[in-house]
Amino acid sequence: MPEGPEIWRVARRLNEVLAGRVATAVEFGLDALKGAEPKLAGATIQGVRGRGKALLIDFDNGLHLYSHNQLYGRWMVIEVGEQPAPTRRRLRVAIHVSTCDALLYSASDIAVLDDAGVATHPFLSRLGPDLLAPETTEMLVSSRLRDPRFRRRRLGGLLMDQGFVAGIGNYLRCEILFVCGLHPLTTPQSLDDDDCSRLAATMLALPRQSAETGGVTNDLARYARLRDAGLSFEQARFHVFRRDGDACYRCGMAIVKARAGGQPCYLCPACQRREA
């Protein structure tokens, strides 16, 4: 499942090639959306933005193309005249502008919405503050952690709840908890002010670092050293995620794979002790 940083990078790429351009045609591979094709043709694309794990393409006629990639959806951009690479994936959306085609394959959660539809959309309307949105501040995230609706929940599940904050999936959840030295069963109400501030700051910093670096949540100096030593991107990018059995970078203890919030959770049993 792509997490906020991956969607943010896709949105930035699509925004670069689509924003300000007229959609000469928009085609849908889902029958239910065929009727929307003429409504979008000829409209100018104002911008492309990530919202949590979803993507919104805004048109100047007040319509928005919503897509949620789930596990398999993938956007591709091809230059005009270029043929898309052969694939078994199903083409779901094609947006044609004068310079390129933006193609979405495999996703099935797609809708064309007006402003009211965005405001009441079952996924979008439930989203908490987006950690990758510049207006989301540490103070806002801290206040979410202190909110009575959330403060008694276990962090292992809470961090991935898109209604709490939008953008964190499993790898970011594991990495944030490790950086803060917190066990997944910890609840926000058990944190003192310093720990709460540090957690809020890390919840903002790590997704933003991941978005900028293409997915590196490890300490960047350590990441560079590991790559110099011959490790692959996947081997070097994380503190703990998928590193079970390997030594913790801080204390040397073996990272373990547990379960929290319905998904595998990787943690250091020494650096992330369970609160008494």
- List residues near Zn ion by CB under 5 A: 248, 250-251, 253, 268, 270-271
- Considering the complex, what minimum distance in angstroms separates the CB of residue 131 from Zn ion? 25
Nearer to Zn ion by C-beta: 9 or 239? 239
Backbone angles phi, psi at 222, to 5 degrees: -65, -40
CA distance 276 to 272: 12
Query: Strand pairing partners for 110?
Result: 67
Nearer to Zn ion by C-beta: 84 or 181? 181
CA distance 171 to 265: 8
Nearer to Zn ion by C-beta: 94 or 174? 174
Nearer to Zn ion by C-beta: 32 or 270? 270
Contact call for residues 23 and 41 (beta carbons, < 8 A)? yes
- Considering the complex, what minimum distance in angstroms separates the CB of residue 271 from Zn ion? 3
Q: Provide DSSP, 105-150.
A: ES--EEEEE-HHHHHH-TTGGG---BTTSTT--HHHHHHHHHSTTT
- Considering the complex, what minimum distance in angstroms separates the CB of residue 181 from Zn ion? 9
Nearer to Zn ion by C-beta: 15 or 202? 202
Residues 6+ away with beta carbon under 8 Å from 216: 209, 210, 223, 236, 237
Nearer to Zn ion by C-beta: 210 or 272? 272
CA distance 115 to 119: 6
Distances (CA, A) of 225 to 30, 228, 248, 250, 268: 47, 5, 16, 15, 21
- Considering the complex, what minimum distance in angstroms separates the CB of residue 177 from Zn ion? 12
- Considering the complex, what minimum distance in angstroms separates the CB of residue 218 from Zn ion? 14
Nearer to Zn ion by C-beta: 32 or 253? 253
- Considering the complex, what minimum distance in angstroms separates the CB of residue 247 from Zn ion? 8
Write the burial class of residue 133 (CB in 10 Å: 0-12 exposed, 13-18 middle, 19+ buried): middle
Distances (CA, A) of 102 to 5, 95, 230: 20, 5, 36
CA distance 96 to 78: 10
- Considering the complex, what minimum distance in angstroms separates the CB of residue 243 from Zn ion? 11
